[in-house]
């Protein structure tokens, strides 16, 4: 009888170590890595020399010895988390206010200042330390601040988040906590490469055992960094900053997808990208749209060899703490964080231009949001409306054809074309509605009574001379549902009174 089903499930190994007080073992694991690597090399080379000296030269064994020694030496001397200059701008004397702000925060938690500070266009935030010799030496530390976060956070929130990140590199009461963080980042690199050959597999196995032994020390350092940040800047500020850390990243992805990528595809980029991003963050419609993606991001599980707590774990920890106010003094705490930037330095414009050029591999022209509506977004609408027709058809004739298809319930032309270009939309009625909206706005624009206006709640809208917008979605929904007569009546009412 097969009793496999009755056997207990295999117990999962502890997540990133179970003993946060095992800091005295960290240095042993580092030294052990070198002893292990040097020992393997010595044995392989020694045996190879023995064969040569005794006249039993083996090409295969000698080649294996050279290969193992070379790979081992490469892993010993490899740089971990080596920093590559991002598509942004390095903060220097031109951004004295921001540099002084970071210096003030670093002093408040007893952390060293980073060697360099970069402003980047992407939603990135954190410190990268370029280390060598399995995390023993630090060659360079770089703080990366994403411009989206300067738009979404106050100075107080930014200070709390900076304190939390900088404290990871400070001696804050955890035995060998900083050393554990650095050596385990190097161990992560070994684990990532362990399937690239037998030798890498051996060292990857060593790195896994190290994680299970002292991973808890790195987690203890992170929890201590959280405590230090709260003592300096308060529970509320750090909790709010961590919430915005996720929401801002998803919101910026949303903006890139909906507004920026179409512009880049037309060799343009918004000249006020982050001013617009700040306005989009105020949109309740957009906030509701991305709420599911934010929750999915926070629900991500931490795997066995993840060095940091997940956003959900951090937020949950802080919410269970007793609320306390910070002790650090902060000038203009409730001002937006982007006010730390010097307008004359043009750091934002430089970062955006560098990012766009690097992404597209050629220069893109800056345009205002209103210009992009006319030159990009309205053209995209026109293209989507006309894609179902084989020949060029006037906007009013497109609308008449839409009424006909709606009345006859014959959507084969629309479904075939829309299914190919709107793959993310699975519902046929929703695809028809999106296409019908484009047809409706094109027909309304052709009357001359409406003009395009930028909207942060969604695609650009048509407005009349008094500023009232056309209910294109309402009319399009009627067309998609087969209520062509009612849709025609509402369209004529909207355009005949102008």
DSSP for 377-433, please give it.
Answer: IHHHHHHHHHTT-SS---HHHHHHHHHHHHHHT--HHHHHHHHHH-TT---HHHHHH
For residue 155, how many other CB atoms are within 10 A of its CB?
21
For the chain, the C-alpha Rg in angstroms (whole number) is 30
CA atoms in the 13 A half-sphere facing the CB of 121:
24
CA distance linking residue 55 with residue 9, whole number of Å? 54
pLDDT of residue 480: 86
For residue 422, how many other CB atoms are within 10 A of its CB?
14
Q: What 3-state DSSP class applies to 120?
A: strand
Q: What 3-state DSSP class applies to 362?
A: coil
CA distance linking residue 401 with residue 443, whole number of Å? 12
CA distance linking residue 240 with residue 176, whole number of Å? 30
Full-model pTM: 0.79
CA distance linking residue 128 with residue 84, whole number of Å? 10
pLDDT of residue 424: 66
Among candidates 164, 160, 143, 153, which has minimal Cα distance to 95? 143
Report residues of the chain scoring pLDDT below 50: 1-16
CA distance linking residue 311 with residue 413, whole number of Å? 46
Domains in the chain: boundaries: 88-186+210-363, 368-496
pLDDT of residue 165: 92
Strands 461-463 and 451-453: antiparallel
CA atoms in the 13 A half-sphere facing the CB of 276:
21
CA distance linking residue 347 with residue 358, whole number of Å? 16
pLDDT of residue 163: 94
pLDDT of residue 458: 79
- Measured between alpha carbons, how far is residue 36 from residues 22, 39, 42, 69, 192 in Å? 21, 5, 10, 12, 19
For residue 343, how many other CB atoms are within 10 A of its CB?
9
């Amino acid at each position: 009888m097969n009793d496999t089903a009755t056997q207990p499930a295999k117990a999962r190994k502890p997540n990133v170590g179970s003993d946060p007080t095992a800091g005295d073992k960290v240095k042993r694991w580092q030294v052990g890595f070198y002893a292990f690597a040097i020992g393997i090399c010595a044995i392989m080379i020694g045996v190879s020399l023995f064969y040569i000296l005794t006249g039993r030269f083996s090409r295969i064994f000698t080649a294996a010895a050279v290969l193992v020694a070379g790979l081992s030496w490469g892993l010993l001397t490899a740089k971990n988390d080596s920093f590559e200059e991002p598509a942004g701008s390095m903060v220097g004397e031109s951004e004295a206010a921001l540099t002084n702000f970071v210096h003030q925060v670093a002093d408040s938690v007893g952390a060293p200042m980073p060697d360099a500070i970069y402003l980047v266009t992407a939603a990135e935030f954190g410190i990268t330390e370029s280390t060598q010799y399995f995390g023993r030496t630090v060659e360079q530390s770089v703080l990366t601040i994403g411009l989206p976060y300067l738009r979404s956070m106050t100075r107080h929130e930014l200070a709390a988040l900076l304190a939390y990140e900088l404290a990871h590199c400070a001696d804050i009461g955890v035995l060998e906590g900083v050393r554990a963080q650095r050596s385990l980042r190097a161990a992560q690199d070994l684990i990532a490469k362990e399937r690239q050959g037998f030798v890498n597999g051996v060292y990857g196995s060593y790195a896994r055992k190290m994680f299970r032994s002292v991973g808890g020390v790195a987690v203890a350092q992170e929890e201590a960094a959280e405590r230090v940040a709260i003592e300096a800047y308060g529970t509320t500020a750090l909790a709010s900053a961590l919430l915005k850390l996720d929401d801002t990243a998803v919101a910026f992805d949303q903006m890139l997808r909906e507004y920026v990528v179409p512009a880049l595809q037309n060799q343009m980029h918004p000249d006020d990208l982050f001013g617009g991003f700040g306005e989009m963050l105020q949109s309740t419609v957009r906030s509701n749209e991305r709420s599911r993606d934010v929750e999915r991001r926070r629900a991500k599980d931490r795997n066995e060899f993840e060095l940091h707590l997940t956003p959900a774990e951090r937020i949950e920890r802080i919410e269970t703490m007793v609320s306390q106010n910070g002790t650090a003094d902060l000038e203009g705490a409730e001002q937006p964080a982007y006010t730390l930037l010097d307008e004359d330095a043009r750091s934002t414009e430089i970062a955006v231009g560098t990012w766009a050029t690097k992404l597209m591999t050629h220069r893109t022209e800056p345009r205002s949001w209103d210009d992009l509506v006319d030159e990009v977004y309205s053209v995209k609408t026109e293209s989507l409306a006309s894609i179902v027709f084989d020949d060029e058809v006037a906007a009013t004739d497109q609308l008449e054809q839409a009424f006909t298809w709606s009345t006859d319930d014959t959507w084969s032309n629309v479904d075939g074309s829309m299914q190919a270009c709107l793959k993310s939309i699975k519902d046929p009625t929703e695809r028809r509605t999106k296409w019908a909206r484009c047809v409706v706005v094109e027909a309304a624009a052709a009357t001359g009574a409406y003009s395009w206006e930028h909207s942060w709640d969604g695609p650009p809208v048509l407005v009349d001379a008094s500023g009232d917008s056309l209910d294109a979605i309402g009319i399009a929904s009627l067309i998609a549902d087969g209520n062509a007569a009612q849709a025609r009546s509402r369209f004529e009412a909207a355009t005949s009174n102008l």
